[in-house]
């Protein structure tokens, strides 16, 4: 992964206030790329535009669980996909909920966080294999303090559907964060773990 997402927890109150004090006022666009290259589970790569998705995930919700490490078996988020399999939101959000709250929206627009003066914009990029058995989606997020870019992040899930149960999928979830406005090495985090996800049926 090249950019970064998840665990923006280190963009917490004191660093955020420091960033705001440093930059004053200003304005930028969302800072999100119009397209990115993703690698699919079969090893192929493809260039996908912002807002695209994996058709097999269209109009669905999935609960994601860790399958390794100390948090094995723990739910880490519920993900909602839109009409073209585009990543719409992280619900029951475990990505810095003290900042972003329980939901992160991937619509490319600016949204306020729970921290005064801090906003974010996030968008989605996704594709699936030619036979529809596997997929990759990537969520990109840019954080802003006082209108200037303060950090960026990427979360990527790459997985395959269970051939015997299309309501189950397994794969790898990775994330990375970087703070760009000031020097905060401890806020630059990278992690990767395996997951299992189940379709949410109301």
Q: What is the pLDDT of residues 148-176, one digit of tens each?
A: 888 888 999 999 999 999 999 999 999 88
CA distances to 63, 78, 170 from 195, rounded to whole Å, are 10, 12, 6
Q: What is the pLDDT of residues 106-147, one digit of tens each?
A: 999 999 887 788 889 999 999 999 999 999 999 999 888 887
Of residues 52 and 175, more confidence is placed in: 52
Q: Both tokens of residue 74?
A: 């723990």
Look up residue 100 and give its DSSP letter.
H
Q: Both tokens of residue 159?
A: 């997985």
Q: Residue 151 in contact with residue 1, Cβ under 8 Å?
A: no
What is the mean pLDDT of the segment spanning 70-94?
A: 91
CA nearest to 75, candidates 195, 202, 200, 201: 195
Q: What percent of the chain has pLDDT over 90?
A: 54
CA distances to 30, 62, 120 from 77, rounded to whole Å, are 24, 9, 19
What is the mean pLDDT of the segment spanning 82-104?
A: 84
Of residues 192 and 18, more confidence is placed in: 192
- CA pair distance 198, 152, nearest whole angstrom: 29
Residue 136 backbone dihedrals phi, psi, to 5 degrees: -140, 135
Query: Where do the structural domains in the chain lie, given as residue ranges?
Result: 8-20+31-40+47-199
Cα 135 to its chain centre, rounded Å, is: 15
The pLDDT confidence band at residue 185, using thresholds 50, 70 and 90, is low
Query: What pLDDT is recorded for position 95?
Result: 67
């Amino acid at each position: 992964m090249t950019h970064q997402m998840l665990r923006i927890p280190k963009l917490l109150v004191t660093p955020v206030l420091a960033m705001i004090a440093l930059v004053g006022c200003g304005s930028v666009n969302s800072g999100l790329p119009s397209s990115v290259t993703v690698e699919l589970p079969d090893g192929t790569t493809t260039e996908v535009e912002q807002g695209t998705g994996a058709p097999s995930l269209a109009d669905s919700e999935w609960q994601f669980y860790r399958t390794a490490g100390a948090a094995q078996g723990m739910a880490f988020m519920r993900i909602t996909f839109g009409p073209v399999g585009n990543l719409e939101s992280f619900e029951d959000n475990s990505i810095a909920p003290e900042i972003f709250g329980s939901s992160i929206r991937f619509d490319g627009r600016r949204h306020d966080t729970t921290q005064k003066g801090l906003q974010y914009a996030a968008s989605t990029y996704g594709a699936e294999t030619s036979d529809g058995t596997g997929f990759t989606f990537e969520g990109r997020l840019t954080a802003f303090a006082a209108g200037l870019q303060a950090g960026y992040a990427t979360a990527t899930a790459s997985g395959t559907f269970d051939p015997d149960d299309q309501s189950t999928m397994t794969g790898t979830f990775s994330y990375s964060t970087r703070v760009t406005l000031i020097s905060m090495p401890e806020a630059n985090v990278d992690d990767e773990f395996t997951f299992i996800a189940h379709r949410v049926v109301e």
